Amino acid sequence: MFQLTKLRNELEFNKEMGGIVNVLKGVASSEFYRLQKARKNLEELGDCLKDFFQMVKIAEVRHLFLQDSTRPPALLLITSDAGFLGKLNISIVNTALEEYSGKEELIVVGRQGARYIEETGKSYTAFPGVSDEVEYKEAERLTDYIIKGFLDKKFGRIVVVYPNFISFAVWQVQTYQLLPSRFLFWDETKASESQNVKLPKHEGRIIVEPRKTEVIEYLVRVWINYILCGIFWESKLSEWAARVIHLERSSTELKRLDKKLHSQYFRLLHEISDKNIREISASRLAVQKMK
């Protein structure tokens, strides 16, 4: 009877857990589709910025944003604070650690990623996780920190490691170099070496004020904000899609376990019934013999 009661309790618990997982799965699915609809289209801003970059000639300009450096880089990790995303966060951390040689500065967005890095014993700088609203000011705070560190020569390159959203069932950890960003601008020295490079629009009709270095700093700051906002959206979509997939697998596993428990329960119930029938039959035979 003890085993039967234990199985009955496990069935009840499994049923309750199945209900909770289904609710969480529904919430995660709704949040994913809400984010997908709320996702801001920044392509127009990106196209405008590219046009501005092509207007600024940098052949004779010296600026930290444009120069390669031997200083150690900074690795910026975009991780998640949501539950059921251990695999996603660990993949991001492992990808970053593959690039880590001991000199790089680790900048971690999200407390779960920070916890994983802390377990390795490595020093890092932590930032709060990205909110579900993906506000522009979140990117601005992060941009201010990395630009200040770059201009103060704390690091010579900045690489972002983040989950790139591909489809509902697929995400992939990717890296993106934010700084230095010489590749963004029109470099007439390289263009003169190639006959396939098209001249930028408005060539010969551009006045750059007040100074090219200030224009470059402003454009790069706006560009980094733009890139980080896009990465934040990719990260959030990857998070919720991965959460839905994980909960779906949990639901499938609970159904499999429920089926197994039901089989054990009814088998044990039949065994107890057979045993009771045999005992009753044996008792009747014993009574008849005594009579």
pLDDT of residue 125: 95
Both 169 and 260 in one domain: the answer is no
Residue 35 lies in a domain: no
On whether both 129 and 57 belong to a single domain, the answer is yes
pLDDT digits (tens, 9 = 90+) for 171-214: 899 999 999 988 888 766 555 444 454 545 555 566 666 788 88
> pLDDT tens, 135-145?
889 999 999 99
Q: Which residue bears the tokens 């904000």?
A: 225
As a whole number, mean pLDDT of residues 101-121 equals 93
Question: Are the C-beta atoms of 76 and 232 separated by less than 8 Å?
Answer: no
Q: Looking at residue 190, what is its pLDDT?
A: 56
Q: Mark whether 53 and 188 lie in a shared domain.
A: yes
The answer to whether position 139 is within a domain reads: yes
State which of 62-71, 120-129, 261-270 shows the largest mean pLDDT.
120-129
The verdict on 135 and 209 lying in the same domain is: yes
Is 144 inside a domain boundary? yes
Write down the pLDDT at residue 198. Answer: 52
pLDDT at residue 197 in the model = 46
* Residue 32 in domain: no
Residues 75 and 214 in one domain: yes
Structural domains in the chain (count): 2
Same domain, 252 and 157: no
pLDDT, tens digit, 9 for 90 and up, residues 79-101? 988 777 888 999 999 999 999 99
Is 277 domain-assigned? yes
Write out pLDDT tens, residues 43-64: 778 888 888 887 777 777 888 8
Q: What is the pLDDT of residue 264?
A: 84
Question: 16-47 pLDDT, tens per residue?
Answer: 888 888 888 888 888 888 888 888 777 778 88
Residues 231, 254, single domain; the answer is: no
Q: Do residue 85 and residue 173 come from a single domain? A: yes
34 part of a folded domain: no
Residues spanned by the domain of 255: 2-26+246-290
The CATH number given to whatever domain includes residue 129 is: 3.40.1380.10
Model-level pTM? Answer: 0.79
pLDDT over 70 at 216, yes or no = yes
Determine what percent of the chain is predicted with pLDDT higher than 70: 91
Q: Does 239 score more than 60 pLDDT? A: yes
Angle at 116 between CA 110 and CA 118, to 5 degrees: 95
Residue 113 domain flag: yes
Q: Sorting pLDDT into bands at 50, 70 and 90, what band is 113?
A: very high
Question: Pick the residue with more confidence: 274 or 208?
Answer: 274
Rounded Cα distance, 207 and 88, in Å = 47
Asked if the model's pLDDT at residue 109 lies above 70, the reply is yes
Q: Are residues 224 and 254 both part of a single domain?
A: no
Strand order in the sheet with 74-78: 125-127, 105-109, 74-78, 158-167, 170-179
Contact 76, 160 (CB under 8 A): yes
Check residue 58 and give its pLDDT: 77
Query: Is residue 33 in a domain?
Result: no
Residues 225 and 256 in one domain: no
Residue-level pLDDT at 208:
64
Pair (147, 221) in one structural domain: yes
Instruction: Decide if pLDDT at 159 tops 90.
Output: yes
For the chain, the distance separating the N- and C-terminal CA atoms, rounded to the nearest angstrom, is: 33
Q: Both 229 and 279 in a single domain?
A: no
Average per-residue pLDDT for the chain: 85
221-224-228-234 Cα dihedral, nearest 10 degrees: 150
